[in-house]
């Protein structure tokens, strides 16, 4: 998500710290998803949860940026339209993802969300014209087969799930698609914009879009439900800080695979809090999607290493002439 270039030497201590921050960030995001699902089960509109998630995420984010002296960088931008495109795509992903959470068990919604890296790779080839060779196309094929397997329990006529869950699964795929678009826009913005600006404009735009849905009818939350919604936003903001910080200590190829620990937390929370036991087909499909995602990460790392060696050879040849 944040394409810092890999270092020639990876400090084991820093790498361990980066991995630890990444895993803790997945816990924070799982806590956020749990709180959002509780709010959705209580009947709060998706637009209302989007507003609370985005607006209250700004509190820890702005405090963190201020502590780093990067608050001005969070507002300064030369690509306002690029931020708008990224923010709209990200907000649509949030709307779809939160709707899926309200209609599906937590582990199932989490598993379907793992289609995002596959969508990102596909869109990178189609939109950014990135070269995707046979290895990654093969991984995408396996991953999309996994997606189809995950969808079987929800689309099967007369199966264990009804129309509500089928709609939730489709919204989950929609969320993965819009997240893929958002990731593509982030790649373009990250070449010229500060991370703080990307996060700030997204949270601000999502807050405005979420607030605009008040005309569709919001529910006035009580103290308990209000606390759930506020904590969901704060947990999301803290998760973003931890995620961003993790990539400062180790390359993306080292950090990214640990994103899949989210499913472990979702399975635990789903069973303990919601008494959810996911369908075997959903777990089988998720395993294929995760395997495909891990292969893509590994392949991109190998290509990055090969490109760096080539540049080093070219630089050595130039020095010797």
Cα→Cα distances 240→29, 49, 59, 233, 304, Å: 8, 17, 12, 11, 26
Do the Cβ atoms of 63 and 240 come closer than 8 Å? no
List the pLDDT tens digit at each of the 321 positions of the chain.
333 333 444 555 577 888 888 889 899 999 999 999 988 888 899 999 999 999 999 999 999 888 888 888 778 888 888 889 999 999 999 999 999 999 988 988 988 888 887 787 788 778 777 776 777 788 888 888 988 888 888 877 766 677 888 899 999 999 999 988 888 888 788 778 887 888 889 999 999 999 999 999 899 998 999 999 999 999 999 988 888 788 777 766 677 677 788 888 998 998 999 888 878 888 898 888 888 878 877 776 676 666 677 777 766 666 666
CB 146 within 8 A of CB 86: no
pLDDT at 7: 42
Instruction: Please check whether residue 140 is in contact with residue 121, taking contact to mean a CB–CB distance below 8 angstroms.
Output: yes
What sign does the dihedral 53-283-254-11 (CA atoms) show? positive
CA–CA separation, 135 and 294 (whole Å): 12
Which among 244, 223, 274, 224 has a CA at the least distance from the CA of 107? 274
Backbone angles phi, psi at 79, to 5 degrees: -130, 60
For the stretch 140-173, what's the b/e string if a residue is b when 16 or more beta carbons lie within 10 angstroms of its beta carbon? bebbbebbebbbebbeeeeeebeeebbebbbbbb
- Residue pair 83/258 in contact (Cβ under 8 Å)? The answer is no
Burial class (CB in 10 A: 0-12, 13-18, 19+), 179: buried
Cα first-last separation, the chain: 39
pTM of the model: 0.81
Run of H or E including 97: helix 80-103
Predicted pLDDT at 53: 94
Give the pLDDT score at 307. Answer: 66
């Amino acid at each position: 998500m944040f394409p810092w270039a890999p270092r020639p030497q990876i400090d084991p201590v820093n790498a361990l710290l980066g991995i630890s921050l990444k895993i803790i960030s997945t816990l924070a995001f799982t806590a956020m998803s749990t709180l959002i699902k509780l709010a959705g089960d209580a009947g709060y509109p998706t637009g209302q949860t989007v507003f609370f998630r985005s607006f209250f995420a700004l509190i820890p984010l702005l405090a963190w940026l201020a502590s780093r002296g990067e608050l001005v960088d969070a507002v300064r931008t030369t690509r306002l339209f690029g931020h708008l495109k990224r923010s709209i795509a990200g907000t649509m992903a949030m709307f779809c993802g939160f709707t899926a959470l309200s209609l599906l068990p937590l582990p199932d919604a989490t598993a379907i969300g793992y289609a995002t890296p596959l969508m990102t790779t596909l869109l990178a080839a189609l939109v950014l014209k990135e070269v995707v060779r046979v290895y990654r196309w093969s991984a995408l094929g396996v991953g999309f087969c996994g997606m189809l397997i995950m969808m079987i329990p929800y689309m099967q006529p007369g199966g264990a799930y009804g129309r509500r869950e089928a709609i939730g699964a489709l919204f989950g795929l929609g969320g993965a698609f819009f997240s893929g678009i958002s990731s593509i826009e982030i790649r373009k913005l990250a070449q010229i914009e500060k991370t703080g600006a990307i996060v700030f404009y997204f949270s601000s735009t999502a807050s405005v879009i979420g607030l605009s849905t008040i005309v569709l009818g919001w529910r006035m939350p009580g103290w308990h439900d209000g606390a759930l919604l506020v904590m969901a936003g704060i947990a999301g903001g803290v998760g973003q800080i931890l995620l961003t910080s993790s990539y400062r200590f180790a390359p993306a190829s080292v950090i990214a695979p640990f994103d899949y620990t989210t499913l472990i937390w979702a399975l635990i929370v789903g069973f303990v809090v919601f008494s959810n036991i996911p369908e075997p087909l959903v777990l089988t499909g998720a395993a294929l999607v995760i395997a495909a995602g891990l292969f893509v990460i590994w392949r991109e790392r190998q290509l990055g290493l090969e490109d760096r060696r080539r540049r080093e050879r070219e630089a050595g040849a130039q020095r010797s002439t």
